[in-house]
Amino acid sequence: MSSTVSTAFGDLRGTDHDGITSFLGVPYAAPLTTANRLRPPQAPQPWTGIRTADRYGPTATQNSYAPPYSDLFVEPKIDGAEQLNVNIWSPDSSGQAPVLVWIHGGAFAHGAGSLPQYDGSSFARNGVVCVTINYRLGIEGFLDLGDDDANIGLRDQIAALSWVRDNIAVFGGDPNRVTVAGQSAGAMSIGALLSSPSATGLFHGAILQSGACHQTISRDTAKVVGAHLAEQLEISADRESFAQVDSDRSLAELATLETSLQTAPDFAKFREAAANMMPMSPSIDGNVIPQPPLDAVSQGSAEKVPLLIGTNLDENMLFLSPSGAIDAIDEDTLRASIAGYGITDVESALELYTVDADRRPGRTLAALATDWMFRIPAARLAEAQHQAHGGPTFMYEFAWQSRALDGCLAACHSVEIPFVFNTLDEDGSDLLTGPAPQELADEVHQAWIAFIRDGAPGWRPYSPDDRAVQRFNTSTQTITDPRSESRKLWNGIR
């Protein structure tokens, strides 16, 4: 069975299955050629006849994950120039359903909207039009040379949201009820979009999973990164020169820089990029991002936008445990890391973050780094939105412990995604979760649907006076101000 819709660029034939219709690999911008590979997205090209949209489109140019992460994440790789595409799952093309637009994560260097875990069928079965997008990554997406074309990856996201606004009605979606959601770099992207005048009015609610407003870099730092890459590639530091470099060569040089920031970061040279360990990330370019996003939110840039923000209990276990790095961290390294984060009371930090069941220094560092990278920025965003009298903010914590790899991942980064999409049975989900409770997936999925539909997920809003957090686990409950002492430790630091 198939259904056909008419967009502004031509007719599309989708695929009907179990009461929903999917349209895959639909271009929202022009194909990427050498001339526009590092330039802002251009309007998609119209087509004649009926275009069949029954398979995922090309994925953004990127490196593969290195082991052991290549064993934990499914990575679709599809070649082609039409990398800027969307996938849509619709319950009824004649309806006016709320819309979810998903921005994938991957440290601004990996990922695609076509991962099996992002299949939008369950959202569609529950009355939500689900859209997943691709955007440019790495050098092609986030190179900032001090010119007018920085933040290409964010511009891609804005172009996709603009396409949704202009076309989603023919897929049964309501353009006035769009919620943008993302995880990790996807959530960090949304933190930037909340501050961007270019994105104003393109979405009406936002879900940020394991990412907030802190992971932007200054323009000066971005230019240092760009100049370093140009020097290593032996080219001039301009877009035309970067566009002429073979993609494999650019990717190899980016991988070298990423590895150096992870193993022996040069903080004096790369500053925030070294601290975040992401050389390619959104920059405060004065245009797409006029100022630090958290400052903009506190001034009202996200006025009237309801937010759902949260983190996983043990985010950084993903980055330290599978590789064995957690066992290489000794007491001296731990103490130096605590001081490096700007904490002067090292003893209090050790007391707060040591996990009684696992007192290894690496486990303590994982707990502390989880707060620095994820939990504290999420709380800061919630507080900024409250300060600006913005839309209501709801906070969650995903605490269910993964059964994969003999449980060493705990409630790590990314483990919540197949619960949110209700895709525990999809190919590759169990690589990160192991055997997982369907009942919890149903509960999390329904909370997300309620927020997308009504702007409220089912628990009370967060405020500085009542720091309500919904903790998802085999026994879910609303708790107040979890780990208040660690929150106080970061005052004035993060």
Q: Which residues are part of the catalytic machinery? A: 184, 315, 413
Torsions phi, psi for 110 (to 5 deg):
-135, 165
The size of the chain, in residues, is 494
At a CB cut-off of 8 Å and minimum separation 6, what does 336 contact?
none
What is the spatial distance between Cα 181 and Cα 185, in angstroms, rounded to a whole number?
A: 11
CA dihedral (343, 345, 346, 352) in degrees, to 10, reads -90
Query: Across-strand partners of 51?
Result: 12
Q: In what order do the strands lie in the sheet with 129-133?
A: 15-17, 20-27, 85-90, 129-133, 97-103, 173-183, 205-209, 307-312, 393-398, 468-472, 477-480
Contact (Cβ atoms closer than 8 angstroms) between residue 408 and residue 432: no
What is the spatial distance between Cα 137 and Cα 37, in angstroms, rounded to a whole number?
A: 11
Contact (Cβ atoms closer than 8 angstroms) between residue 133 and residue 28: yes
CA distances 151 to 147, 187, 272, 282, Å, are 10, 15, 16, 6
